[in-house]
């Protein structure tokens, strides 16, 4: 009740000049000190005589106006000018105490500071009183620079450098000893000023950088070039490290070197963010390629189904319309399949997952066979010419499938784009050294050629130069890009030049093929090899397989079902000789089934005789599969019962081997089913 | 003993044995003895004689199924040792026991089957004796006890 009454009285007092408060109000008006009295809503209520005298502005410019508009109105940067005063008033009100606000108003070249006095009665703010003091101008320093006519440059710079927290800024003397230290340096590096001043700056470097002489190199470079910048690990007082960006600048006064300025920033977070970005980018590129590869693969399977169904359909009785439609389905399907294969190749190449096989390459025979096939697709009147240089190697080592694919691609293009004239294929040896040939294959056509502007885009993926609206030529635009990558993968190159004689193109590619120096290097025996070489080849292959299985055998467990005692003995002996120690021989199918159902994971592979008393191999397999056990089962089928082999696979077995069991065959089968697929895949083409 | 060469083996066994298969068995022996292979071979002799006796019984009983089973059984072990003639004879017995001709076509006449089996059994016994003699001689050279 009381406070309410008091507040009401105060309001009347401050708003009336005739009441008992009039004297106090006059005092304010008459004061020689520039003074403004402002309402809690920042309306100016009183203006002292000092304001008029000192600022040469009329009372009417202030009375009843908004404080900030009256002070800063008309300045183009008004919204910046008011910031310090607004903040100071907030603080004064919050603390209910006076505040100084330095150099906040300038009139006629003189700068004034405000003393802000909040007047409270109880919890109610009655008014704000702003007293103004003149800021004595600093005399300009040697450089003639004065900031705000109040602070010297030296002072400001010292403050600036001392208080910056996010940068370590400090000086080194000419030999690299720390001379100054700022707050940023203290925060970043963890040393107090008194701990580090006088110490050498190489303290901040790690052992590796010190060994490599990095600190001294940096100073030398800095002296030579004026500055040096570096990013790397630096160490704090507590031994933790941060990723620093460091700039060292050589400092001179009057041409005399006096030391180095060093600015260090902590970029640990940015570096981590960068690494995360790079990882994310790599991950997404990988995902994209995986996705492409998976999709292509998934699409191919039903495509094959559709195409075979279509072929069957075409074999049935169809009328002309139906046949035409079925043909369109078939052709479109073939094209779609090519597109998918192209994408699959591209995604494999892009992700670096493309594997190159090593096999025999007969350059001449591959080229002739492709040319023979392509002849069927020539436009009538276009002829094809094949020039094989003498001396092309009959066989060399390389990837015949990929070689064929590259050649097929460029000759398909040549034929596709040639409507009259000819296509010529030249193959020759472009270089040869002791271990390899470089084979140049060149396809020259008299087709539409490539416009000069488009040449640079020829080998870019998903680019088709021919405008799609013409629809004359189909394709994904992946072919050449894939072919070029393949050529590079085979140690060669691919290129284009215009046909110099008339319109048309010349596409060429090279591949490197290894010479067959020693037949033993080959993964496969060849008809041309003499028997001796083939035999030693087989022997070494066998030895390699033996080594591998003996490595593996101790960790693998085999269950064999065989009823004949003689065969049991021989089989045990064979398995022993291959290094297997853990195998069980069951004397009929029922025994095998009960062993497996008792402990489904006790074995890695089953060798299953077919004809056994009590329960035969087929029945046993059926039972094992019924329990859901996917263990590989290799049938041992008796000699000469035709059809047995196929029956084995139909009945749920995985493979078969005929009896009497040949130790080498068994060895191969066991490797196939017990070893990781990678090994057997790379193993067969690996030179021994 | 050192592995005999092909010529030596051919001289002993002629065409009664598939040398590749038989050598595979010999290679399983430890160097210096032929304990393993001879135990297999002599095990086979016992098995063969037992099986022939069972075949005789089954033939008397006109039990084709049993005959087929026995034929298959001995075919397995003879094939393992490479005793090709015995193996082929056993297969004949197995086939006719299943009422099939040698090419797998059905032979519905039980009498014909029994007749064929009888012939085949006689032939396979004599083939067996031939190869048995060869094998016993082969092992006798190295171990008189085994050869006795």
Residue A230 and residue A260: Cα distance in Å, rounded?
15
- H or E stretch at A242: strand A241-253
A466-493, pLDDT tens digit by residue? Answer: 554 444 445 566 788 888 888 998 889 9
Contact of A609 with chain B, judged by CB distance below 8 Å, is answered with: yes
Q: What is the mean pLDDT of residues A588-595?
A: 86
Residue A104 phi, psi dihedral angles, 5° rounding: -105, -10
pLDDT above 80: residue A325: yes
CB contact under 8 A, A564 and B43: no
Number of domains forming the structure of chain A: 5
Same domain, A414 and A470: yes
Of A245, A249, A203, give the one whose Cα is nearest residue A227.
A249
ipTM score for this prediction? 0.79
Q: What secondary structure letter does DSSP report for A600? A: T
B104 or B117, which is more confident: B117
What was the pLDDT predicted at B148?
A: 38
Question: What span, in angstroms and rounded, lies between the C-alpha atoms of A658 and A60?
Answer: 118
Average pLDDT estimate for B33-48: 88
Q: Which residues of B touch A659 (CB under 8 A)?
A: 76, 79-80
Alpha carbons within 13 angstroms on the beta-carbon side of residue A354 total 24
- Is residue A439 located within the same domain as residue A325? no
State the pLDDT confidence band at B21, using cuts at 50, 70 and 90. confident
The token duo for A191 is 């040393």
Q: In the structure, what pLDDT confidence band is assigned to residue A96 with cuts at 50, 70 and 90?
A: very high
Indicate yes or no: CB of B75 within 8 angstroms of CB of A638.
Answer: yes
Distance spanning both ends of chain A, measured CA to CA: 107
Please tell me whether residues A254 and A201 are part of one structural domain.
yes
Q: What is the pLDDT of residues A127-162, one digit of tens each?
A: 999 999 988 776 554 444 555 555 677 888 888 888
Average pLDDT of chain A is 81
Number of H helices, E strands in chain A: 23, 23
Q: What is the pLDDT of residue A200?
A: 92
- Of A231, A266, A301, which one is at a domain's C-terminal end? A266
Choose between A60 and B142: higher pLDDT: A60
The CATH code of the domain that includes A471 is: 3.30.565.10
Q: Is A347 helix (H, G, I), strand (E, B) or coil?
A: helix
The CATH code of the domain that includes A109 is 3.30.450.20
> What's the pLDDT at A155?
80
* Mutation choice for A interface testing from B76, B77, B84, B86 by most A CBs within 10 A: B76
pLDDT band at A172, cuts 50/70/90? very high
Comparison of pLDDT for A326 and A25, the residue scoring more: A326
Mean pLDDT of A408-425: 87
Q: Which CA distances in Å does A531 have to A528, A539, A563, A602, A670?
A: 9, 12, 39, 44, 27
Structure-token pair, residue B73: 């059984």
Tell the residue number behind the tokens 């031994």, with chain if given. Answer: A239
- Of A266, A286, A317, which residue sits at a domain end? A266
Q: pLDDT value at position A65?
A: 92
Chain A closest-CA separation from residue B36 CA (Å): 9
SS3 for A29-79 is: HHCCCCEEEECCCCEEEEECHHHHHHHCCCHHHCCCCEHHHHHHCCCCCHH
Tokens of A528: 């041309």
Of A91 and A9, the structure prediction assigns the larger pLDDT to A91
* A568, part of any domain: yes
Quote the CA–CA distance of B77 and B87 in Å, as a whole number: 8
Mean pLDDT within A226-251? 91
Binning pLDDT at 50, 70 and 90, where does residue A103 land?
A: confident
* Mean pLDDT, range A412-427, rounded to an integer: 87
d(C-alpha B90, C-alpha B75), whole Å: 5
Task: Please check whether residue A461 lies inside any domain of the structure.
Answer: yes
Question: Are both A398 and A502 inside the same structural domain?
Answer: yes
Question: Within a domain: residue A609?
Answer: yes
Spatial distance between the Cα atoms of A489 and A399, rounded to a whole number of angstroms: 10
Cα(A563)–Cα(B72) distance, integer angstroms:
11
Contact present, A489 and A416 (Cβ < 8 Å): no
Question: Measured between alpha carbons, how far is A207 from A213 in angstroms, rounded to an integer?
Answer: 10
Please indicate, yes or no, whether residues A335 and A434 belong to a single structural domain of this protein.
Answer: no
A573 and A680 housed in the same domain: yes
> What does the pLDDT average to over A523-548?
62
* Per-residue confidence (pLDDT) for residue A10, from 0 to 100: 43
Q: Which helix (H) or strand (E) holds A444?
A: strand A436-445
pLDDT band, residue A389 (cuts 50/70/90): confident
Find all residues with CB under 8 Å of A205, minimum gap 6, and list them: A214, A215, A234, A235
pLDDT bracket for residue A335 (50, 70, 90): confident
Of A342 and B89, the structure prediction assigns the larger pLDDT to B89
A125 and A186, same domain (yes or no): no
Q: Do both A334 and A363 map to the same domain?
A: no
A473 and A545 in a single domain? The answer is no
Q: What was the pLDDT predicted at A463?
A: 65
Q: What is the rounded distance in angstroms from the CA atom of residue A23 to the CA atom of residue A29?
A: 10
Q: Environment class of residue A83 by beta-carbon count within 10 Å: exposed (0-12), middle (13-18) or buried (19+)?
A: exposed
How many interface pairs between A and B have CB atoms less than 8 angstroms apart?
Answer: 59
Say whether residue A664 is in contact with chain B using an 8 A CB cutoff: no
Q: Give me the pLDDT at residue A142, please.
A: 46
Prior bond to B40 cis, omega within 30? Answer: no
Q: Which domains does chain B have, with CATH numbers?
A: 15-141 (1.20.120.160)
Provide the H-helix boundaries in A431-530: 479-489
Residue A356: how many other CB atoms lie within 10 Å:
14
Contacts 24+ apart (CB under 8 A), A677-682: A679/A548
Q: Output the pLDDT for position A400.
A: 83
Q: Is the dihedral of CA A514, A518, A521, A526 positive or negative?
A: positive
Of A352 and A607, more confident: A607
Decide which of A226, A244, A266 is a domain's last residue.
A266
The reply to whether A590 falls in a domain is: yes
Contacts of A42 (CB under 8 A, 6+ apart): A66, A67, A68, A128
- Check residue A86 and give its pLDDT: 93
Alpha carbon separation from A135 to A58, A82, A102, A113, A640 (Å, rounded): 22, 18, 8, 6, 117
Q: Which tokens sit at A156?
A: 């400001």
Query: Looking at the domain assignment, is residue A102 inside a domain?
Result: yes
Q: Give the strand pairing for A110-121 and A99-107.
A: antiparallel
Most confident of A260-274, A408-422, B5-19: A260-274
Closest CA to A479 of A548, A417, A557: A417
Question: A141 in a domain, yes or no?
Answer: no
CA angle B56, B59, B64 (to 5 degrees): 130
In a domain, A610, yes or no: yes
Q: What is the mean pLDDT of residues A334-354?
A: 76
In this complex, do A638 and B21 lie within 8 Å of one another by their Cβ atoms?
no
What are the φ and ψ backbone dihedral angles of A657, each rounded to 5 degrees? -140, 140
Evaluate if residue A677 carries a pLDDT over 60. Answer: no
Q: Which of A546, A561, A565, A570 to mutate to probe the B interface, most B CBs <10 Å?
A: A570
For B36, the closest of A573, A613, A638 (CB atoms) is A573
Percent of chain A clearing pLDDT 90 (strictly above): 23
Query: Are A89 and A186 contained in the same domain?
Result: no
- What are the Cα distances from residue B125, in Å, to A640, B48, B56, B120? 21, 9, 11, 8
Across the interface, whether the CB atoms of A565 and B76 are under 8 A apart is answered no
CB contact under 8 A, B24 and A663: yes
* pLDDT above 80 (res A6): no
Residues A345 and A371 in one domain: no
Q: Examine residue A114 and state whether it is found in any structural domain, yes or no.
A: yes
pLDDT in tens, A242-298: 999 999 999 998 888 999 999 999 998 888 999 999 999 888 888 887 787 777 777
* pLDDT range class, residue B108, cuts 50, 70, 90: confident
* Yes or no, beta carbons of B77 and A613 under 8 Å apart: no
List, for residues A40-84, the tens digit of each pLDDT value: 999 999 999 999 999 988 889 999 999 999 999 888 888 888 999
Query: What is the band of A390 on the pLDDT scale with cuts at 50, 70, 90?
Result: confident
Give the Cα separation of A185 and A161 in Å (integer): 10
Q: What is the pLDDT of residue A36?
A: 93
Residues A364, A502 within the same domain: yes
For the residues B96-105, what does the mean pLDDT come to?
A: 83
Asked if the model's pLDDT at residue A516 lies above 60, the reply is yes
CATH number for A283: 1.10.287.130
- Minimum mean pLDDT range among A204-218, A535-549, B122-136: A535-549
Domain limits for position A568: 537-685
pLDDT value at residue A532: 53
User: How close A297 comes to chain B (CA, Å)?
Assistant: 43
């Amino acid at each position: 009740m009381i406070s309410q009454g008091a507040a009401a009285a105060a309001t009347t007092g401050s708003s009336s000049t005739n009441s008992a408060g009039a004297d106090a109000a006059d005092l304010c008006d008459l004061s020689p000190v520039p003074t403004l009295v402002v309402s809690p809503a920042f309306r100016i209520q009183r203006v002292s005589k000092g304001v008029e005298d000192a600022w040469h502005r009329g009372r009417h410019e202030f009375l009843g106006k908004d404080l900030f508009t009256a002070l800063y109105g008309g300045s183009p940067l008004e919204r910046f000018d008011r910031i310090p005063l607004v903040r100071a008033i907030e603080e004064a009100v919050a603390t209910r105490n006076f505040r100084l606000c330095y150099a906040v108003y300038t009139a006629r070249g003189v700068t004034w500071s405000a003393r802000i006095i909040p007047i409270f009665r109880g919890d109610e703010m009655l008014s704000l009183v702003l007293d103004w003091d003149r800021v004595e101008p600093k005399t300009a320093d040697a450089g003639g620079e004065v900031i705000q006519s109040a602070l010297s440059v030296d002072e400001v710079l010292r403050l600036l450098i001392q208080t910056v927290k996010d940068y370590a800024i400090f000086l080194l003397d000419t030999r690299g000893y720390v001379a100054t230290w700022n707050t940023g340096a203290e925060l970043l590096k963890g040393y107090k000023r008194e701990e580090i001043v006088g110490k050498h700056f190489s303290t901040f470097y790690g052992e590796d950088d010190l060994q490599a002489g990095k600190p001294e190199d940096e100073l030398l470079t800095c002296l030579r070039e004026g500055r040096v910048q570096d990013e790397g690990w630096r160490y704090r007082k507590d031994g933790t490290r941060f990723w620093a960006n460091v700039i060292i600048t050589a400092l001179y006064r009057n041409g005399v070197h006096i030391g180095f300025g060093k600015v260090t920033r902590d970029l640990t977070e940015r570096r981590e963010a960068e690494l995360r970005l790079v990882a994310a980018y790599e991950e997404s590129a990988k995902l994209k390629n995986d996705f492409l590869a998976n999709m292509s693969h998934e699409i191919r399977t039903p495509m094959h189904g559709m195409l075979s169904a279509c072929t069957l359909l075409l074999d049935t009785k169809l009328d002309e319309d139906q046949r035409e439609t079925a043909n369109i389905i078939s052709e479109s399907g073939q094209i779609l399949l090519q597109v998918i294969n192209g994408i699959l190749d591209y995604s494999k190449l892009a992700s670096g997952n493309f594997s190159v096989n090593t096999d025999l390459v007969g350059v001449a025979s591959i080229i002739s066979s492709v040319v023979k096939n392509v002849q069927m697709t020539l436009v009538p009147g276009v002829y094809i010419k094949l020039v094989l240089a003498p001396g092309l190697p009959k066989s060399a080592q390389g990837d015949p499938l990929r070689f064929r694919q590259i050649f097929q691609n460029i000759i398909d293009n040549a034929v596709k784009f040639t409507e009259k004239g000819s296509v010529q294929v030249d193959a020759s040896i472009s270089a040869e050294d002791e271990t390899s040939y470089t084979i140049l294959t060149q396809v020259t056509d008299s087709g539409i050629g490539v416009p000069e502007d488009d040449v640079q885009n020829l080998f870019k993926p998903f680019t088709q130069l021919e405008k799609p609206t013409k629809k004359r030529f189909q394709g994904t635009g992946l072919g050449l890009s894939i072919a070029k990558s393949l050529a590079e993968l085979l140690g060669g190159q691919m290129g284009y030049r215009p046909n110099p004689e008339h319109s048309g193109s010349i596409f060429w590619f090279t591949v490197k093929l290894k010479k067959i120096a020693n037949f033993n290097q080959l993964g496969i025996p060849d008809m041309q090899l003499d028997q001796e070489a083939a035999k030693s080849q087989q022997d070494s292959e066998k030895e390699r397989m033996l080594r591998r299985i003996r490595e593996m055998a101790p960790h693998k467990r085999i269950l064999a079902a065989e009823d004949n005692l003689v065969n049991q003995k021989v089989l045990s002996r064979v398995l022993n000789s291959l290094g297997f120690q853990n195998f069980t021989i069951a004397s009929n199918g029922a025994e095998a089934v009960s062993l497996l159902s008792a402990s489904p994971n006790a074995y890695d592979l089953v060798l299953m005789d077919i004809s056994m008393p009590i329960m035969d191999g087929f029945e046993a397999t059926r039972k094992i599969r019924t329990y859901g056990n996917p263990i590989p089962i290799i049938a041992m089928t008796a000699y000469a019962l035709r059809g047995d082999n196929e029956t084995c696979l139909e009945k749920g077995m995985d493979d078969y081997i005929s009896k009497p069991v040949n130790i080498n065959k068994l060895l191969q089968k066991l490797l196939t089913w017990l070893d990781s697929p990678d090994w057997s895949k790379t193993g067969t083409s690996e030179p021994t | 003993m050192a592995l005999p060469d092909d010529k030596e083996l051919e001289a002993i066994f002629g065409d009664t044995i598939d040398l590749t298969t038989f050598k595979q068995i010999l290679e399983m022996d430890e160097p210096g003895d032929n304990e393993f292979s001879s135990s297999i071979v002599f095990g086979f002799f016992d098995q063969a004689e037992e099986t022939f006796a069972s075949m005789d019984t089954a033939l008397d009983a006109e039990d084709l199924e049993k005959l087929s089973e026995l034929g298959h059984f001995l075919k397995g072990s003879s094939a393992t040792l490479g005793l090709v003639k015995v193996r082929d004879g056993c297969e004949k017995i197995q086939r006719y026991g299943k009422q099939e001709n040698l090419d797998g076509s059905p032979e519905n006449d039980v009498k014909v089957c029994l007749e064929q089996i009888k012939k085949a059994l006689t032939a396979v016994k004599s083939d067996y004796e031939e190869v048995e003699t060869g094998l016993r001689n082969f092992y006798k050279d190295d171990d008189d006890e085994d050869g006795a």
